[in-house]
Amino acid sequence: MDSLKLLVIGNSFSMDTMEHAANIALALGITKLHFGTLYLGGCSIGMHYTHAIENLPAYVYYTNDGNGWEETPDYCIEDAVKSADWDWIVIQHGTSGESRYTSVESYEKLTPLIQYVKERAPAHTKIAFNLTWMGESTRQHHEILSYGGDIAAMRAKLEEVTKQVILTNPLVDRLIPTGTAIENARTSQIGLLTRDCYHLSMDKGRYIAALTFLACITERCIDAIDWVPQGVDPYAKAVAIESANNAIRAPLCITPSALTK
């Protein structure tokens, strides 16, 4: 595979995940790429579904053919889905309003949303779900506070819900364990991976997310990748590769890092 066409229906977590994706894809030998990200801050699965069926131009649409991101405002899901011969369309949950992603109820529109997408996408297009990371356990955030500050309990609930509503959904072809990779990296000496407790840092956090995302989608070996963004030193690069590989091997289990500085 030297080409990849991929669309993410998402939010700010998708922007974090996709920021470095094109550079990583090129480094993995994918010479022809077309990436799209539909962005609306905080947008949940339920909100995505509402915007889809009402055909609302609620998103900023970012596209990248390997030469940087370009943006188009006031875009709707249907137009993005029909705009290319997508290999993959990825769904991203949000965490605002009714979108507590640790509740089964917040996924009730997942199947209808995927059905909407599949009715408009090419027949060969596969569907993936991008798993979000936890907030930093050292900070206060409304999601963590909803569990009384017990991030371990929140993580266990997310694992339970993911097994129940994602892994058993016949319309989801692949779970992308981006969140697990971030959790794996947090067991190392890499330091904080977010810029505001929840959104990923511009360098290390976003690199781990994109590396995991591309490794999972393409099934290519990332061990010898030679591209890193500014701010990622050799230790952080090694942790990123290790964390991504471990997440793909064990998508819902935190694997402690074996790397020390």
In angstroms, the CA 82 to CA 184 distance is 36
Q: What is the pLDDT of residue 98?
A: 46
H or E stretch at 254: none
In angstroms, the CA 52 to CA 41 distance is 16
Angle at 100 between CA 99 and CA 105, to 5 degrees: 75
Residue range 109-167, pLDDT digits in tens: 999 999 999 999 999 999 999 999 887 765 566 666 666 767 788 788 889 999 999 99
What separation in angstroms does the CA of 182 have from each of 149, 163, 175, 249?
Answer: 19, 19, 15, 14
Q: What is the pLDDT of residue 157?
A: 85
CATH architecture of 3-249: 3-Layer(aba) Sandwich (3.40)
In this structure, what are the phi and psi dihedrals at residue 159, rounded to the nearest 5 degrees?
-60, -45
Q: What percent of the chain stands above pLDDT 70?
A: 92
Whether the pTM exceeds 0.85: the reply is yes
| Contact criterion met (CB below 8 Å) for 3 and 31 | yes
Q: What is the residue-averaged pLDDT of the chain? A: 93
Residue range 20-79, pLDDT digits in tens: 999 999 999 999 999 999 999 989 999 999 999 999 999 999 999 999 999 999 999 999
> How is the chain split into domains, by residue range?
3-249
